């Protein structure tokens, strides 16, 4: 899935400006930013290593079948059950373990996008927990920066950004220090938290580790930095405009005060005496 950033960059650039208003969300409910990330994941996942299998998983969608949580479940259940049977026969089947983690993640994200109840949200989170479990089984057998990064992002999709950030920080400080996608995802999480300096540093590191853009990370990271710069420029322009409006308001108020003071002075005894003379 290393090439996912080439698709992710194009989709991210279509985001536009994100709504800056916040509201109270239920536990497990996704923010708009998280939903955008999930959409990107689903698009990228479908175009990556499991594309062939996913084509059969979603063939019913091409038959005008209404897309609901129930149909999503039906599409994934068979594929996941087959993989689980393989792992039951051979618990050290790392290929199947990774596929299970990837499928459960994708399944969870499709469910989360269609979630219409607390039960649906809980279902999505349960699937993400299963994905983390399969990734853990894989990592107990062999190291993989790709799997470790995917595992970390599952926490984010569950709404636990802090754990996702900590996990990626630990990964990039150890075995994943030279793994560009981990830095790119860490930058994304920092950006979501509003830690723009940290996000920029992570994106710059990601781009540095993919100098030829072979994994698409360099262009993705540079694209995110450009959007951050544009957002900062827009914020500065808005702040300058607000300051200008404040100055104009202050000038108007001062002029009004001066006019009021002049009218008051005309009514004083001294002013009346001077007028009489």
Concatenate the DSSP letters of all residues of 112-162 into one string: HHH--SHHHHHHHHHHHHHHHHHHHHHHHHS--HHHHHHHHHHHHHTT-HH
The C-alpha atoms of residue 196 and residue 120 are separated, in whole angstroms, by: 33
Q: Which of 98, 99, 105 is nearest to 142 (CA)?
A: 98
Which position has the higher pLDDT, 20 or 264? 264
Which position has the higher pLDDT, 18 or 216? 216
The C-alpha atoms of residue 269 and residue 224 are separated, in whole angstroms, by: 70
| Interval 171-211: pLDDT, tens | 999 999 999 999 999 999 999 999 999 999 999 999 999 99
b/e string for 213-249 if b means 16 or more Cβ within 10 A? bebbbbbbbbbbbebbeeeeeeeeeeeeeeeeeeeee
Which position has the higher pLDDT, 200 or 59? 200
Domains annotated for the chain, with CATH where assigned, are: 1-9+27-159 (1.25.40), 161-250 (1.25.40.10)
Residue 119 CB contacts under 8 Å (≥ 6 apart), including other chains: none
The C-alpha atoms of residue 247 and residue 260 are separated, in whole angstroms, by: 20
Mean pLDDT for the chain overall: 80
Q: How confident is the model at residue 256 (pLDDT cuts 50, 70, 90)?
A: low
Let me know: does 154 contact 135? Beta carbons within 8 Å: yes
Structural Rg of the chain based on CA atoms: 28
Helices vs strands, H then E, count in the chain: 12, 0
Place of tokens 């479990």: 133
pTM, two decimal places: 0.71
| Interval 81-99: pLDDT, tens | 999 999 999 999 999 999 9
**Residue 30 predicted with pLDDT over 90:** no
Let me know: does 187 contact 203? Beta carbons within 8 Å: yes
DSSP string, 2-26: TTHHHHHHHHHHT--SPP-------
């Amino acid at each position: 899935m290393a090439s996912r950033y080439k698709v992710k960059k194009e989709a991210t650039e279509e985001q536009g400006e994100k709504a800056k208003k916040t509201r109270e969300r239920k536990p497990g409910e996704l923010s708009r930013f998280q939903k955008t990330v999930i959409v990107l994941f689903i698009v990228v996942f479908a175009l990556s290593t499991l594309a062939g299998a996913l084509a059969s998983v979603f063939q019913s969608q091409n038959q005008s079948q209404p897309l609901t949580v129930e149909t999503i479940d039906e599409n994934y259940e068979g594929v996941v059950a087959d993989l689980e049977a393989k792992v039951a026969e051979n618990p050290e089947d790392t290929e199947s373990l990774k596929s299970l983690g990837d499928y459960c993640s994708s399944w969870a994200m499709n469910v989360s996008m269609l979630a219409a109840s607390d039960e649906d949200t809980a279902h999505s989170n349960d699937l993400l927990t299963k994905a983390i479990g399969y990734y853990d089984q894989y990592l107990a057998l062999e190291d993989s920066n790709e799997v470790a990064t995917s595992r970390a992002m599952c926490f984010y999709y569950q709404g636990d950004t802090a754990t996702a950030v900590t996990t990626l920080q630990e990964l990039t400080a150890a075995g994943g220090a030279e793994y560009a996608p981990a830095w790119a995802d860490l930058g994304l999480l920092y950006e979501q938290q509003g830690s723009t300096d940290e996000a920029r540093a992570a994106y710059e590191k990601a781009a540095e580790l993919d100098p030829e853009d072979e994994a698409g990370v360099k262009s993705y990271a540079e694209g995110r930095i450009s959007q951050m710069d544009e957002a900062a420029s827009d914020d500065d322009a808005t702040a300058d405009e607000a300051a200008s409006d404040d100055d104009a308001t202050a000038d108007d108020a001062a002029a009004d005060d001066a006019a009021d003071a002049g009218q008051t002075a005309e009514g004083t005894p001294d002013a009346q005496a001077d007028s009489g003379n």
